[in-house]
């Protein structure tokens, strides 16, 4: 009954703990700004192939270089489009990869701090980068880059943590440990 991994969609639903009542609160797709460079490379490659007839006897070299550039641009575009960051009512996780699928997860109870960096262009175009601090020394989910509308997404994570009661339980445990 399990579905097979797709090469064209990240299919985040297959990683949910449905029997435990896990539900997606937000699925974050990379901000379109990270698609600009791969698109530019692909367009240059296509332009090289289209104009290759102007070079006379060297046209085939231009076609090969154009094909390679187009492939690299389209591949990188596809890699970016297959990267998902998911906020659920129980955890946050990231699914990415095409040939190899990588999944990194962090339960809400392990999130100690979230730092949001918005570089200059991020402020202008409304994207940012998340850094998660957790109770674990090494973690698989540390940085999430090119998050669209990072302030709203940060508030969403904070609300989910509050609704889950994770902070209240952790604070009560800290108080018990301190006395």
Q: Is 144 in the same domain as 168?
A: yes
Band (pLDDT 50/70/90 cuts) for residue 127 is: very high
Flag whether pLDDT at 19 surpasses 50. Answer: yes
Band (pLDDT 50/70/90 cuts) for residue 60 is: confident
Give the whole-angstrom CA distance, residue 6 versus residue 14.
11
State how many domains the chain has.
2
Q: Is 60 in the same domain as 101?
A: no
Comparing CA positions, the residue from 10, 20, 16, 124 lying closest to residue 78 is 10
Q: Is 151 in the same domain as 67?
A: no
| Res 117: pLDDT | 94
Q: Is 129 in the same domain as 159?
A: yes
Q: Is 150 in the same domain as 126?
A: yes
Domain range enclosing 49 = 36-78
Q: Could you please report the per-residue DSSP string of 110-128?
A: GEEEEEEE--HHHHHHTEE
What is the percent of the chain with per-residue pLDDT over 90, rounded to a whole number?
A: 49
Residue 152 lies in a domain: yes
Residue 51 lies in a domain: yes
Residue 99 lies in a domain: yes
| Res 1: pLDDT | 42
Flag whether pLDDT at 176 surpasses 60. Answer: no
- pTM for the model stands at 0.78
| Res 167: pLDDT | 54
Residue 2 lies in a domain: no
Q: Is 106 in the same domain as 161?
A: yes
Give the whole-angstrom CA distance, residue 156 versus residue 105.
17
Band (pLDDT 50/70/90 cuts) for residue 151 is: very high
């Amino acid at each position: 009954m399990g579905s097979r991994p797709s090469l064209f969609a990240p299919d985040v639903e297959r990683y949910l703990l449905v029997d435990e009542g896990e539900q997606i609160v937000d699925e974050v797709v990379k901000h379109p700004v990270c698609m600009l460079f791969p698109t530019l490379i692909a367009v240059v490659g296509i332009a090289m192939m289209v104009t290759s007839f102007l070079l006379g006897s060297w046209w085939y070299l231009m076609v090969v270089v154009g094909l390679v550039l187009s492939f690299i641009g389209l591949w990188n575009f596809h890699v970016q489009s297959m990267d998902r960051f998911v906020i659920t009512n129980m955890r946050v996780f990231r699914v990415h990869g095409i040939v190899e699928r990588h999944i990194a997860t962090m339960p809400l109870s392990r999130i100690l701090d979230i730092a949001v960096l918005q570089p200059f262009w991020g402020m202008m175009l409304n994207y940012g980068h998340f850094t998660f601090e957790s109770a674990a020394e090494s973690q698989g989910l540390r940085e999430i880059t090119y998050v669209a509308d990072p302030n709203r997404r940060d508030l969403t994570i904070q609300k989910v943590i509050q609704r889950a009661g994770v902070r209240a339980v952790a604070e009560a445990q800290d108080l018990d440990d301190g006395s």
